[in-house]
Structure formats: C-alpha cells, structure tokens
Amino acid sequence: MLPVLSAVLGVLGAVVGIVAGLWVHWYVVEPGDGELISVARTLVPDGFTPVSEPGVTGQMSVLLERGSVHVDATSLQATTLGVLSTGLQEQGWTLREQVDPARTTGRVKVQRDGLFATVFVTDALYDDVTTASIQVSRGPSSPSLPVTVALGAAAGIALGVVSGVIVFQALSRSRVRRDGPRPV
C-alpha cells in the first residue's frame, strides 16, 4: 500500500508543483502587464502624443506566450531613426539591430532588463502626421519557464512522496491502536 499511496500523492504533488511553477514564473519571474504598460508610456518619443492608453495585446496563454503591450502616438514633426535610437539609448536601452540614422521611416528594436521593445515610425503619410507604433514584450527571463516548471514538479513529487510515507505511517499506527496488540 505504501508504494501506491506514495505514487498517487507524488503524481498529485507533481501536478500542484507544475501549476505552482507556472504561477511563479508568470507573476514573480516575468515582468507583469502593469510594468510593460508603464515602460510603454516612457517609450513614446519626445514631441509625440499617445493616441490612446497602452493596452495588452496578443497571446494570453501560460503555455504559449504572454501578451505584449502596444501604444500608438502621433506628431506633427518628423523624427529620424538616429534621434529616436539615441533617445532610447540615453534611457538605458540597448539596440538589438543597427539603424540608418538618417531615415525617417523604419523601426528601432531595443532591449533592457528582460524586456524587448520596438518603435516603428512612419513619416507623414497622411495629413502631415508622423506616427509611432510602440510595442513592449517580455524577453528571455531567468530562470526560464521550463526550469521553473521542472523545479515546481520536482518539489511537488518530493512533497507528495514524503506525504505518502507520513500518511502510511499514521494509518499503520492508528490500525495498531484500534485493534490492540496482535496475538503471537
């Protein structure tokens, strides 16, 4: 009975551990949606006005990829990718790819502290308005999702097996007390 009880509690512990690992990764390890929204607000280029509040878009499944934050902004003035990338680097962002500093249309991809951001600028296509489309997403985090889930599953299995042994011993003791000593 001990092996069966320990195995059942070990499997139950693994399931609980996997769920706990997912929760820890989602809410503790990775930046939250609120942090992404806050960062998106700081990425609106100088002289641009947000069209709306930043919002979460994209995947929302724990097993796939979490959503990213998107915000659009407009300006009556044009800007260059060089000015935009310099401003982002002054804020502590690192360029993920080089840009042509003289271009007025294109994207600037940056990263910082486990976050990826892309600012795509389109120069005065309609009504002499320049638009900036900003997207902020979660980058690689440490520990990674598989590591967090594996640690949660391992801890759950260990706790389940130990619980199985403890429950078995408690049941064995209660059986001896109820029946009294066994005749020899």
In DSSP terms, 119 is beta-bridged to 108, 134
Distance CA 151, CA 131 (A): 45
129-172 pLDDT, tens digit per residue, is 889 999 998 877 777 778 888 888 888 888 888 888 888 788 77
pLDDT at 1 over 80: no
Task: Spell out the domains of the chain, with CATH numbers in brackets.
Answer: 1-30+143-169 (no CATH), 32-138 (3.30.310)
Of the chain, the end-to-end C-alpha distance in Å amounts to 23
CA distances from 24 to 65, 153, 172 (A): 15, 12, 37
25-53 pLDDT, tens digit per residue, is 777 877 788 888 999 999 999 889 999 89
Report the chain's mean pLDDT, rounded to a whole number.
83
Residue 133 amino acid letter? S
User: Could you tell me if 114 and 140 are in contact, meaning their C-beta atoms sit under 8 angstroms apart?
Assistant: yes
pLDDT at 77 over 70: yes
Distance CA 76, CA 117 (A): 23
pLDDT at 61 over 60: no
pLDDT of the residue at 121: 92
83-101 pLDDT, tens digit per residue, is 999 999 999 999 999 999 9
